[in-house]
Structure formats: structure tokens, C-alpha cells
């Protein structure tokens, strides 16, 4: 059985006795396309570069689509509505004081994993939810929530000076509300 999981991805469900033969057939067929093996860290790196959210790290049941930058997938006028619609509409009418932002370290050497402190203009404003080295971007990248009493708009994010703390050292970072 083959299941499509989105963004050019599939899961193959194969009886154990056929796994080796299917694997060999896939590797053989992939040669003409130049496809290579890729581990999960490579996939995670590409995911974070595209700012794709990971359930359990970047988003969970306590995060709203508004805070996590996923409101574009919400269909408020869905026939019959949906559970939480009224609460989400109420949240949309309030000032946004928490928001998921993408960061790129300006130094290519340090690495990000998760839970590193985010500093904005010298004030602690949040933590990295997930991080990895971004090979396409040439530096470590991460997704993390900014929490502030101010409204966290695109302009607010762009106006700040950011540092990510790694092993006690603050590394300057670029912040973006769109994928870098």
C-alpha cells in the first residue's frame, strides 16, 4: 500500500519478506534521476528552511493557527463550522503577542537544535522550538516563538535586533516571518 503524505512524499507499506526486493528496485530506478539516499536530519534541515511546522515541536494543541503563521489554511466559512471557530475568531480580533518566527544565525559555525533562548534588543522573548543547520542557507536556522507584551506584527519583528543564545554565548540572528 502506498500513502501520499504531502510535499512529494509517500509512505510505503510492504510485507517484510518483500522489503529488500522493493528497496533494490527503488534504488535501481532512482539512478537515472540522480536520486540519493537522505537521512532524517537532511529532511529536517530542508523542512526548517521552508519553515514547515513540525507537530510536537513547532506546533501543538496549545498553539493557534494565527500564532503559528498557519491562518491561511483556516476556512472560517466552512459549512457547519468547526470546533474552536468562535474562539479562533475571538483570538483573531485580539492583539497578537505571540508568534512563530524563523531565525538564521549570522555566524555559520554554531548549531541550533531546540530550546535555545531568543533575545530581542537585549530582552529574552522566547525559545527556539526546532533548529538545524540549513545547508541551502549556509548557517543554522530555527523556528521559535516570540512572546512580548507588544503586538508582534511583521513590522515589530523586522524592527528588532536578535540574538540566539548557544552555550552561554549570544549569536546575532536574522528574523523573518516568511521562509528565508
- Find the mean pLDDT for residues 60-85: 94
pLDDT tens profile 81-125: 999 999 999 999 999 999 999 999 999 999 999 999 999 999 999
If you search the block for the grid coordinates 549556509, which residue do you land on? 138
Cα radius of gyration rounded to whole Å, the chain? 20
Q: State the pTM of this model.
A: 0.84
Mean predicted lDDT score pLDDT of the chain: 93
Amino acid at each position: 500500500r502506498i500513502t501520499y503524505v504531502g510535499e512529494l512524499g509517500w509512505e510505503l507499506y510492504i510485507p517484510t519478506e518483500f522489503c529488500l526486493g522493493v528497496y533494490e528496485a527503488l534504488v535501481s530506478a532512482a539512478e537515472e534521476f540522480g536520486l540519493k539516499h537522505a537521512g532524517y536530519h537532511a529532511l529536517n534541515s530542508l523542512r526548517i528552511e521552508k519553515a514547515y511546522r513540525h507537530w510536537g515541536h513547532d506546533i501543538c494543541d496549545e498553539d493557534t493557527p494565527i500564532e503559528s503563521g498557519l491562518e491561511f489554511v483556516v476556512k472560517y466559512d466552512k459549512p457547519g463550522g468547526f470546533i474552536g471557530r468562535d474562539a479562533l475568531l475571538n483570538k483573531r480580533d485580539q492583539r497578537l503577542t505571540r508568534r512563530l518566527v524563523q531565525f538564521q544565525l549570522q555566524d555559520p559555525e554554531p548549531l541550533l537544535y531546540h530550546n535555545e533562548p531568543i533575545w530581542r534588543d537585549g530582552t529574552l522573548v522566547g525559545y527556539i522550538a526546532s533548529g538545524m543547520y540549513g545547508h541551502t542557507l549556509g548557517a543554522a536556522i530555527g523556528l521559535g516563538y516570540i512572546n512580548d507584551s507588544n503586538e508582534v506584527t511583521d513590522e515589530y519583528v523586522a524592527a528588532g535586533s536578535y540574538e540566539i543564545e548557544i552555550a552561554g554565548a549570544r549569536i546575532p540572528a536574522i528574523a523573518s516571518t516568511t521562509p528565508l
